Amino acid sequence: MKKPNLAIVGATGLVGSTFLEVLEELDFPFDNLYLMASAKSAGKVIHFKGKDYVVEELNEHSFDKDIDIALFSAGGDTSKKYAPIAAAHGVTVVDNSSAWRMDPEVPLVVPEVNPQDIAWNKGIIANPNCSTIQAMVPLKPLHDKYKIKRVVYTTFQAVSGSGLKGIEDLKQGLEGNDRCVAYPHPIAGNCLPHIDVFTENGYTKEEMKMVNETKKILGDDSIQVTATTVRVPVFSCHSESINLEFEKPYELEDVKEILSKAPGLHLVDDPENNEYPLARDVAGKNDVYVGRVRRDFSAENALNIWVVADNIRKGAATNTVQIAQLLLNEEK
């Protein structure tokens, strides 16, 4: 198979620049590379793998050239406008925004969980929400074995999930300046139970994303899901407390063995020696980490786990590049 021609839309953003890091780390093969962004970033020169690339302004004719795969991370409005244009030109788009995730015609993919779903794409594949992605990696093998009845998510999400504005809010806050550009309240020294906008049911959009995406990715609408998502003063990595109820009984050691063998997942669970996944340890890594695995004695067949992943890596760029790898393998 020939090496694909690759485009990155939103190449100068936080996730877009991480696309490049991950592509290099995973030695992703490509022939031509096109970097695209908004007008204000056009003309910027990015050095990648020994070559200089000039960032192009994204427009309706950007996909007239020969492009096979396009990785999008430029926001939902941009994706809604330009992903169909790219797909109409024969490009397979892997989109990192929320624009296409719940479209029934668009696969929503975590490669360790439902790689088979890329087979029915019609030119667009959606990358799930960052907090959903990391939860799916441990939940999938447990669902296969014990069938999940109910999930309760409580997330502790890093400011990098809000992009450069969130990072700057925290930096300024730690210096004593209560800057509130990304958030309605200061983030330094605070926990904000408010990610994205509130909906009519009292949940935020972020919380509803986790509810709906969990069911779509696992392919089971019978699972009951609730979520509380919290922004915390951490620069990188989302942490999640996840409570599960299964239809079938389980043995704790069997659960730990399943988690220890799951693809893309690392079990770090030695509380006697204070070993459990920590944001500072997981930052910059591409996999998901799970620990604090323990029985929930308050409900039948219930379990508590603690899950940590780098939200810009596995929660965005890495998962997107892994989907692109699946596309390459499908063509072989």
Residues with a catalytic annotation lie at 130, 238
Give the Cα separation of 58 and 75 in Å (integer): 13
Q: Which residue has the tokens 């695209």?
A: 36
Q: What 8-state DSSP symbol labels residue 91?
A: P
How far apart CA 71 and CA 288 sit, in angstroms, is 22
Lookup: tokens for 32: 């031509």
How far is Cα 104 from Cα 188, in angstroms, rounded to an integer?
39
Residue type, 323: I
Distance CA 143, CA 70 (A): 32
Rounded to the nearest angstrom, the gap between the alpha carbon of residue 246 and the centroid of all alpha carbons in its chain is 25
How many other CB atoms sit within 10 Å of the CB of residue 113? 26
Angle, CA 244 vertex, CA 125 and CA 266 arms, to 5°: 65
Alpha-carbon distance values, 248 to 124, 136, 195, 221, 241 (Å): 36, 19, 33, 18, 21
- Is 174 within 8 Å of 189 (Cβ atoms)? no
